[in-house]
Amino acid sequence: MQLLDCPVRNYAWGSRTALAGLRGEPGPSPHPEAELWMGAHPADPSRLVGSGATLLVEIAEDPVAALGQHVCERFDKQLPFLMKVLAAEEPLSIQAHPSKAQAQEGFERENQRGVPLDASSRNYKDDNHKPELLVALTQFSAMAGFRDPEATVALLEELGSPRFVPYRDLLAEQPDGSGLRALFTTWITLPSSDVAELVDDLAESCVALLGRSPRGPFAEVARNLLQLVERYPGDAGVLASILLNHITLQPGEGIFLDAGNLHAYLHGVGVELMANSDNVLRGGLTPKHVDVPELLRVVDFEPLELSPVPVRNAEPGGTAEQVYQVPIDEFALSRIELDATGLLHSVSHGLSRGGPQIIACTRGEVIARSGGEEVRVPAGGALWIPDSDPEVILHAGTARDEVFRAVVPQ
């Protein structure tokens, strides 16, 4: 096992205080810090503290020792997941990710058309799907999947704008996936002057709604929409946001975003685990390339009832490790709480073996012991455990340790 030196990605939507705060460093940072990458992604792999080698090279040099035979065969000698700590001060773009079949077809099609891999108009950077699991570390607000159309009709009625009446009627007459597809397509293909007028009108309606019922069922949605209007005036993604589920996760709660789920993170700090892919189709709230026809091929318009991912104990009767239940081959995520006093949680916890593992400490300082070795992992730090290591036991270093554990399901 080895401590990892993990790269920080400075995107404009990041926070100047959250990741610094996690690492116990004085903030604000000189640039917004958006993502801390823990993994072997070729674009920005973590490095092993000590040797300075990248995790990508470490795995390539002895894939069987790093990943185990099963993962080598199943995932072509590559670490199949990427873990991140994500700190969103401002909303990220609305996006959806393709299924594996869509990604294979799209990647091949763009290759044949000769679109360079680094072109800004390129949709498919690889041939893999990109399911994502996000678990909140702070209160975390997000939008994901289409709300029940009947509820969206009620929202449009509550907003009370005459300009939105034809759109409300369109959805009321066809309150299903086809109606959602029709309305989304209408909005995202409107001329930009029409979008700007509708978004202005929406902002006024949200202010009025909040004046009438500041604690009503749509108050949170109205607040989110106003925040989006302020940041992205004239962006059709604001209109699309009317149709999505809006959720606020509490620390420890997670959402799973499978292929076709239209989503956007709005605000908060979280741990994100995803398959190793860069395939993103954007749908607004961004100055970047939006390919509407391709997005429409990928988005799943069936209404979705969004709720936090269920969790279960990793071991019968043991509550230290909670596993998030997601239907994915590439990764599994669990959250482990330890407590040096033993009053609230266990003092130590043995990790089951098999395949590669990355342990991210998000609170306190955890002590990892294995085969006579000891490594301290502070908050904001990450530990790489290859398949070939003997059993690793985590010990609490403080009274409130929290770690997240990424593995490949066996």
CA angle 227, 132, 237 (to 5 degrees): 30
In the complex, least distance from residue 266 CB atom to Zn ion, rounded to whole angstroms: 13
Min dist CB 250 to Zn ion, Å, is: 21
54 vs 95 by CB, closer to Zn ion? 95
Which one, of 44, 73, 50, lies nearest residue 1 by Cα?
Answer: 50
Residue 282 annotated in active site? yes
Bridge partners (DSSP) of residue 403 are 336, 361
In the complex, the smallest distance separating the C-beta of residue 144 from Zn ion, rounded to whole angstroms, is 9
Least Å distance, CB 131 to Zn ion, is 9
Burial label for 125, CB within 10 Å (0-12, 13-18, 19+), is: middle
CB of 63 to Zn ion, least distance (A): 28
Nearer to Zn ion, 209 or 262 (CB): 262
Between residues 4 and 133, which has the closer beta carbon with respect to Zn ion?
133
Q: Of the two residues 263 and 405, which places its CB atom closer to Zn ion in the complex?
A: 263
Choice between 203 and 281, CB closer to Zn ion: 281
Could you give phi then psi for residue 244, rounded to 5 degrees? -95, 155
Residue 349, sorted as left (phi over 0), alpha (psi -120 to 50) or beta, turns out to be beta
- Smallest separation, CB 237 to Zn ion (Å): 14
Please report, for residues 49, 320, 345, 346, 349, the alpha-carbon distance to residue 395 in angstroms, rounded to integers and kept in the order given: 21, 12, 11, 9, 7
Interacting residues with Zn ion (CB under 5 A):
95
Q: Which of 282, 297, 363, 376 does the annotation list as catalytic?
A: 282
Among residues 227 and 277, whose Cβ is nearest to Zn ion? 277
Shortest Cβ distance from residue 133 to Zn ion (Å)?
11
Identify which of 308, 302, 306 has the alpha carbon closest to the alpha carbon of residue 149.
Answer: 302
Q: CB-wise, 205 or 276, nearer to Zn ion?
A: 276
In whole angstroms, the minimum distance from the beta carbon of 132 to Zn ion comes to: 5
Measured from the CB atom, the residue of 11 and 234 that comes closer to Zn ion is 11
Write out the catalytic residue numbers.
282
